[in-house]
A and B are shown apart, each in its own frame.
Chain A
Amino acid sequence: MQAKYLKPETLTKLGPLDVVARQVVEGIRIGMHRSPVRGISTEFSAYRQYVAGDEIRHVDWKLYARTERPYVKLFDAETNFIANLLLDASSSMTFQSGGISKLEYAKFMAATLAYLIVDQRDSAGVGIFDGELRNYVEPKSTLGILADISRELEKVDPRPRTDIASLLHEFAGRMKRRGMVFLFSDLLDNTDDFLKGIGHLRFRGHNVTVFHILDPHEIEFPLNGVWRFEGLENDGEIVTQPARVRAAYLKELEAFITDVRRACVKNGADYVLVNTNDPIESILSNYLLQRTMAAKTR
């Protein structure tokens, strides 16, 4: 894939890392990911008391001899997964204080993740949205999908007004099998609705990761003097001295991030705060390392 979003040095740094699903995903092909369908794999998972209807061959007779109670052996099955990369392309994502906008940064991240996923023979697809889903590339595990994804990312035309919640609800209905959802957004929307969307995805058994992308100026608010702030999503303008409201702003930001993070945690979703000042490979490496460690500790 020679698309502009996949920098070879970035991918080289990510190469040794595996994308490890934290929860069991359903897949067609047998792979290294755990399947909720016990018995296909030879890897022991757990014991469960025998109930009527269980196959007799799964009863552990040695344990029955010791305990005189029938227990059924459960096995994890390894399978491939489907990943949907959802990219917020609303106008607010175009903000940039330095060399790269949030949207561009999100595109790099999505493309990088897609490559990693397809490279390990999993399926990756991309959904680009603002107020609604604008473009969607169906997940596939062939290398050709990477070209499709890159082409769609290049065609992004940012528009005002984000409605992440409706998009998440739509995706929860669209994805028939449980899979992974990666969301790239600044989440500058109605937080309650967004959280309901996350809850819907999780209810359908999807593994959700939220990449909360913010600009360094949004995180640190280091402006001095008098500034006129013009909203990127037709939400008016504000004239103020940033230095004088900085403390209050940062407090509000912290509260906002905390709310989002807590909601994600509550719903079993991963939350990653991304500063566009940080290197992409660093963000993804940390994220994948955390996932790997979490999988091993289970």
Chain B
Amino acid sequence: MSTVNSFALWGTLAGIGVAVPIIIHLLHQRHRRRTDWAAMELLRKALVIRSGQVKLEDLLILLLRCLVLALAAFAMLRPFLDSDSSIIPGEKKAGMVVAIDASYSMSHGKHAQRFDRAKEKALQILKNANVGDPTTVVLLGQKPRILLRGVGYEETRFNEVINGASTLPEAMNLDRCLDEVAELVAELKAPLKECYLVTDGQAVDWENLSQDARASLDSVDGEATIFVAPIADEGSENLSVMNFQYASGSLVPSGTIRFEAEVRNHGAQIQDGTTAVLQVDGQDVSRQSVGPIRAGESKVVAFYTSFDGGGDAKVRVELSADSLNQDNARQTVVHVRDRIRVLCAHGEGPSGSKPSEIFYLVRALELKKSQESTSLDVVRADWQDLDTEDFNDYDVILLANVPTIGVDLAQRLDRFVRKGGGLGIYGGDKLDLDSYNAQLYGEEVSLLPGELRGMAEFEGSGLEENQDEASWTIGPIQSDHVLAKLAASIPEEGRNAAKIRKVLQVKPDASADTLLTLSRKGLPLLLEKRVGAGTVLLVTTTADRDWGNLCVHPFFPMMAQQSITHFTSRPGERTYTVGVPGEVSFTGLQADASVTLAEPESDPRGVSLSVRDDGGVFCSVDTEVPGFYEVQPEGQSSSALAVNILPSEADVKVLPSDALGSALGKPEWVVPLDANLEQLIKQSREGLDISRTLLILALVVFLLQGFLARLFTSRMSGDDATDVTESLRKQTLAAARRTT
């Protein structure tokens, strides 16, 4: 026999409970009243007759009362007989946790969705529950959604809840969900526990279970009988947009922007005839045929577009319908700036015969004869004139070979970056590294992506035929940063044409990203650090030809342009995954400002703003469904967020029952599709819950002691007393008559 509830807890309570009548009895004995009494002899005679009987009655009543409490406490322990063969009456009660896979892959199916079949199976399982059995129904997705928790089973209610359930726009997170299921099983108060996992058995989720997931399943197995019930599927043909993002281009009016959508064929057959549509702010702007995609392969579809005005642009790509539509669309948000103001500060002093240090940089930014350059205002300034510049007039500040940084300048730059500005720092011979480290890499101001540790110059073998060969090139690209990808988009041969002989040596900060490195030594070439709402980029070589030819390499203007876009627009930054809390920051807005939030599939509503520790104001957004979320402060332009589903769930291939069993390491858990589930459940249930029997017994004993207590004290009723007195009077009267 085992118990459902804690023996320590209920055993202690039972002990206390049994002690209560004894304590009351003892206290009752102590709290006695006194009285004078004349008829002591009569009382003594009565006691001689009754005392033994009274003690026996008292003991019996006391024992019965203790027994009532002991039985009740024992019933609270929920004792459970492990075998059915006992003669003790009991009930076959089972607690059930029915977990239904509701990840979006369960929406797959042209004729009937997998989720509909899962709901049918869940209802079939629940038919084996007895009315009142504690039952939990939970949907599994990125996190579990508990529909009913430990509720006494009631067919109508459960049918209603399950039939009303729908899939979630989420991928399955088995680790998290199984952990929660284990807790739900553990908290069930039932002698017999059963855990049902109704799923499509998707290979990406179940094939390689993590240690955490296995540990959760083992935990469930320790307490309950596990049934993994796979459901029938209609194959695994599916096309999905795995990725959609801004690729390149200046995010200014009339700038040409490239977006890329990665379309993948998860099925077993070649797919052709699919079209992809690009939408901007809800309007179709481009349509392309995806073309044939072989099984298991991906294809990148590029879209080019431009924007007429500034502000947030909501861009979406959508494939034509297939068996699973939830993964056919993705969206992103890009911010288009009307004008971008750039301050280029240099430390060259009076210009000599050779081109200025920022000559190439300005050229790269202005791009003569380009319409895009009309949106870019580039202002040149000597570093000594920086004190006279108002940084609020600029979006980006570029420092090229600026010798020293004063305290005041450092603080102004820090404020500028934290408010959202972009700061680019280029190396050069004039840099006073100690000044940079002291002012820009301290505790108060920390803008540099790392500590500057001197200059590194290429040390070749000496056999190089020309100067270009005695240089580093851009090393292997590992970062997926937009600037890194830009470099990666250049063929390696062309990329290697960029020669760099000398760089600043930097020890990258933990909070910094190294975007590009040099060949051989792996010295950082391009580093990024986020500070407040702004960004700092450090180019460890010069912006002119002193330390190499990077400034005349085609990559340089691309990098310069793209970095300006990156500084000012940060494309892709406001793209989230479903379930990840989104955030929209505002500058110049009070915390109590009136803000409206428009969410997909719901009406706009007012929301309140939050304040960060640094005083920044932001709007927090719950991203429960994919689509665009738009935050509109009163009197200001709106800011948008794009929310997408996790693409990993789009691979809808499922494991056959035997493979699922193998993956679980417990084939006996898996209920084959053709198995009689009801029969299996009945066979698995063994044992009896005798708590109700004990409660009934406790009630019977309680009534018995009440009856006996009443019987034992019934002699004190008022009727008896009247009878005695009256009989004495009558006898007296009768005697008086006889004597006459």
Chain A bound to chain B: yes
Interface residues of A (CB under 8 A from B): 22, 91-95, 102, 186, 188, 215, 218-233, 235-236, 238-254, 256-258, 261-262, 264-265, 268-273, 275, 290, 293-294, 297-298
**Cβ-defined contact, A262 with B735, below 8 A:** yes
What sequence of 0s and 1s flags, for each residue 700-740 of chain B, a beta carbon within 8 Å of any chain A beta carbon?
00000000000011011010110011011101110111111
Using known A-B contacts A240-B47, A241-B54, determine if residue A247 contacts B715 with beta carbons closer than 8 Å.
Answer: yes
Q: Is B38 part of the contact surface with A, judged by Cβ < 8 Å? A: yes
Question: Could you show 19 A-B contacts with beta carbons less than 8 Å apart?
Answer: A22-B740, A93-B38, A186-B39, A218-B38, A229-B37, A232-B38, A233-B40, A235-B40, A238-B47, A240-B43, A245-B54, A247-B716, A248-B47, A250-B724, A257-B731, A261-B735, A262-B735, A270-B739, A271-B732
Q: Is B41 part of the contact surface with A, judged by Cβ < 8 Å? A: yes
Complex CA gap A273/B735 in Å reads 12
Q: Which residue of chain B has the shortest Cβ distance to A90 in the bound complex? A: B38
Using known A-B contacts A227-B35, A228-B34, A238-B40, determine if residue A219 contacts B49 with beta carbons closer than 8 Å.
Answer: no
Q: Chain B residues near A246 (CB, 8 Å)? A: 715-716, 720
Complex CA gap A53/B47 in Å reads 64
Using known A-B contacts A248-B50, A258-B731, determine if residue A297 contacts B42 with beta carbons closer than 8 Å.
Answer: no
**Cβ-defined contact, B36 with A232, below 8 A:** yes
Complex CA gap A229/B47 in Å reads 12
Q: Chain A residues near B739 (CB, 8 Å)? A: 265, 268-270, 294
**Cβ-defined contact, B44 with A230, below 8 A:** no
**Cβ-defined contact, B735 with A222, below 8 A:** no
Q: Is B32 part of the contact surface with A, judged by Cβ < 8 Å? A: yes
Q: Is B111 part of the contact surface with A, judged by Cβ < 8 Å? A: no
**Cβ-defined contact, B716 with A224, below 8 A:** yes
Distance in Å: Cβ of B25 to nearest Cβ of chain A: 10
Distance in Å: Cβ of A216 to nearest Cβ of chain B: 9
**Cβ-defined contact, A265 with B35, below 8 A:** no
Complex CA gap A224/B712 in Å reads 13
Q: Chain A residues near B727 (CB, 8 Å)? A: 254
Complex CA gap A76/B287 in Å reads 150
Q: Chain A residues near B35 (CB, 8 Å)? A: 223, 227-230
Q: Chain B residues near A228 (CB, 8 Å)? A: 32-35
Distance in Å: Cβ of B531 to nearest Cβ of chain A: 82
B-side interface residues, number (CB < 8 Å):
46
Complex CA gap A215/B713 in Å reads 23
**Cβ-defined contact, B721 with A229, below 8 A:** no
**Cβ-defined contact, B37 with A226, below 8 A:** no
Using known A-B contacts A227-B33, A228-B35, A271-B736, determine if residue A245 contacts B713 with beta carbons closer than 8 Å.
Answer: no
Of all A-B residue pairs in the complex, the 4 with the closest CB atoms, nearest first, are A247-B715, A294-B740, A248-B46, A92-B38
Complex CA gap A249/B51 in Å reads 12
Q: Chain B residues near A256 (CB, 8 Å)? A: 42
**Cβ-defined contact, B44 with A238, below 8 A:** yes
**Cβ-defined contact, B736 with A270, below 8 A:** yes
Residue among B36, B44, B46 with most chain A CB within 10 A:
B46
Complex CA gap A238/B718 in Å reads 24
Q: Is B57 part of the contact surface with A, judged by Cβ < 8 Å? A: yes
Q: In B1-57, which residues have CB < 8 Å from any A CB?
A: 28-29, 31-47, 49-51, 54, 57
**Cβ-defined contact, B735 with A271, below 8 A:** yes
Q: Chain B residues near A265 (CB, 8 Å)? A: 735-736, 738-739
Distance in Å: Cβ of B184 to nearest Cβ of chain A: 53
**Cβ-defined contact, A244 with B38, below 8 A:** no
Using known A-B contacts A220-B721, A244-B54, A244-B713, determine if residue A95 contacts B37 with beta carbons closer than 8 Å.
Answer: yes
Q: Which of A233, A245, A251 contacts B43 (CB 8 A)?
A: A245
**Cβ-defined contact, A264 with B735, below 8 A:** yes
Distance in Å: Cβ of A57 to nearest Cβ of chain B: 33
**Cβ-defined contact, B38 with A250, below 8 A:** no
Q: Which of A95, A262, A268 contacts B38 (CB 8 A)?
A: A95
Using known A-B contacts A232-B36, A235-B40, A249-B46, determine if residue A243 contacts B716 with beta carbons closer than 8 Å.
Answer: yes
Distance in Å: Cβ of A276 to nearest Cβ of chain B: 12
Using known A-B contacts A95-B37, A244-B57, determine if residue A239 contacts B32 with beta carbons closer than 8 Å.
Answer: yes
Q: Which of B32, B36, B42, B57 contacts A226 (CB 8 A)?
A: B32
Complex CA gap A262/B738 in Å reads 11
Q: Which of B37, B45, B733 contacts A231 (CB 8 A)?
A: B37
Q: Chain B residues near A220 (CB, 8 Å)? A: 721, 724-725
Q: Chain A residues near B34 (CB, 8 Å)? A: 227-230
Q: Which residue of chain B has the shortest Cβ distance to A270 in the bound complex? A: B736
**Cβ-defined contact, B29 with A226, below 8 A:** yes
Distance in Å: Cβ of A94 to nearest Cβ of chain B: 8
Q: Chain B residues near A94 (CB, 8 Å)? A: 36
Q: Chain B residues near A242 (CB, 8 Å)? A: 716
Q: Which of B41, B51, B728, B740 contacts A257 (CB 8 A)?
A: B728
Q: Which residue of chain B has the shortest Cβ distance to A214 in the bound complex? A: B39
**Cβ-defined contact, B47 with A247, below 8 A:** no
**Cβ-defined contact, B57 with A254, below 8 A:** no
Q: Which residue of chain A has the shortest Cβ distance to B729 in the bound complex? A: A273
Complex CA gap A148/B697 in Å reads 74
Q: Which residue of chain A has the shortest Cβ distance to B28 in the bound complex? A: A226
Using known A-B contacts A220-B721, A229-B35, A265-B739, determine if residue A236 contacts B731 with beta carbons closer than 8 Å.
Answer: no
Q: Which residue of chain A has the shortest Cβ distance to B32 in the bound complex? A: A226
Q: Which of A186, A215, A273 contacts B728 (CB 8 A)?
A: A273
Q: Chain B residues near A273 (CB, 8 Å)? A: 728-729, 732
Q: Chain A residues near B740 (CB, 8 Å)? A: 22, 293-294, 297-298
Given A220-B725, A248-B46, A290-B736, 13 more contacts at CB 8 Å? Answer: A215-B38, A225-B28, A225-B32, A227-B33, A231-B36, A231-B38, A232-B37, A232-B40, A238-B43, A244-B54, A244-B57, A270-B739, A294-B737
Q: Chain A residues near B40 (CB, 8 Å)? A: 229, 231-233, 235-236, 238
Q: Chain B residues near A249 (CB, 8 Å)? A: 42-43, 46
Q: Which of A22, A253, A262 contacts B39 (CB 8 A)?
A: A253
Distance in Å: Cβ of A26 to nearest Cβ of chain B: 21
Distance in Å: Cβ of B719 to nearest Cβ of chain A: 11
Distance in Å: Cβ of B689 to nearest Cβ of chain A: 41
Complex CA gap A221/B35 in Å reads 12
Distance in Å: Cβ of B436 to nearest Cβ of chain A: 94
Q: Chain A residues near B721 (CB, 8 Å)? A: 219-222, 250
Q: Which residue of chain B has the shortest Cβ distance to A267 in the bound complex? A: B739
Complex CA gap A257/B727 in Å reads 11
Using known A-B contacts A188-B39, A228-B35, determine if residue A247 contacts B720 with beta carbons closer than 8 Å.
Answer: yes
Q: Which residue of chain A has the shortest Cβ distance to B713 in the bound complex? A: A243
Q: Which residue of chain B has the shortest Cβ distance to A239 in the bound complex? A: B32
Distance in Å: Cβ of A35 to nearest Cβ of chain B: 20
Q: Chain B residues near A241 (CB, 8 Å)? A: 54
Distance in Å: Cβ of B80 to nearest Cβ of chain A: 42
Using known A-B contacts A222-B716, A227-B34, determine if residue A188 contacts B41 with beta carbons closer than 8 Å.
Answer: yes
Q: Which residue of chain A has the shortest Cβ distance to B34 in the bound complex? A: A228
Q: Which residue of chain B has the shortest Cβ distance to A298 in the bound complex? A: B740
Using known A-B contacts A222-B721, A265-B738, determine if residue A272 contacts B39 with beta carbons closer than 8 Å.
Answer: no
Residue among A94, A271, A298 with most chain B CB within 10 A:
A271
**Cβ-defined contact, B36 with A95, below 8 A:** yes
Distance in Å: Cβ of B27 to nearest Cβ of chain A: 10
Q: Chain B residues near A223 (CB, 8 Å)? A: 35
**Cβ-defined contact, A252 with B46, below 8 A:** yes
Complex CA gap A263/B58 in Å reads 39
Complex CA gap A91/B36 in Å reads 10
Q: Which residue of chain B has the shortest Cβ distance to A227 in the bound complex? A: B33
Q: Chain A residues near B46 (CB, 8 Å)? A: 245, 248-249, 251-252
Q: Chain A residues near B732 (CB, 8 Å)? A: 261, 271-273
Q: Which residue of chain B has the shortest Cβ distance to A258 in the bound complex? A: B731
Residue among A215, A219, A236, A253 with most chain B CB within 10 A:
A253
Q: Chain A residues near B49 (CB, 8 Å)? A: 245, 248, 252
Using known A-B contacts A244-B57, A253-B39, determine if residue A225 contacts B33 with beta carbons closer than 8 Å.
Answer: yes
Q: Chain B residues near A254 (CB, 8 Å)? A: 724, 727-728
Complex CA gap A229/B42 in Å reads 12
Q: In B395-414, which residues have CB < 8 Å from any A CB?
A: none
Using known A-B contacts A221-B721, A244-B50, determine if residue A261 contacts B731 with beta carbons closer than 8 Å.
Answer: yes
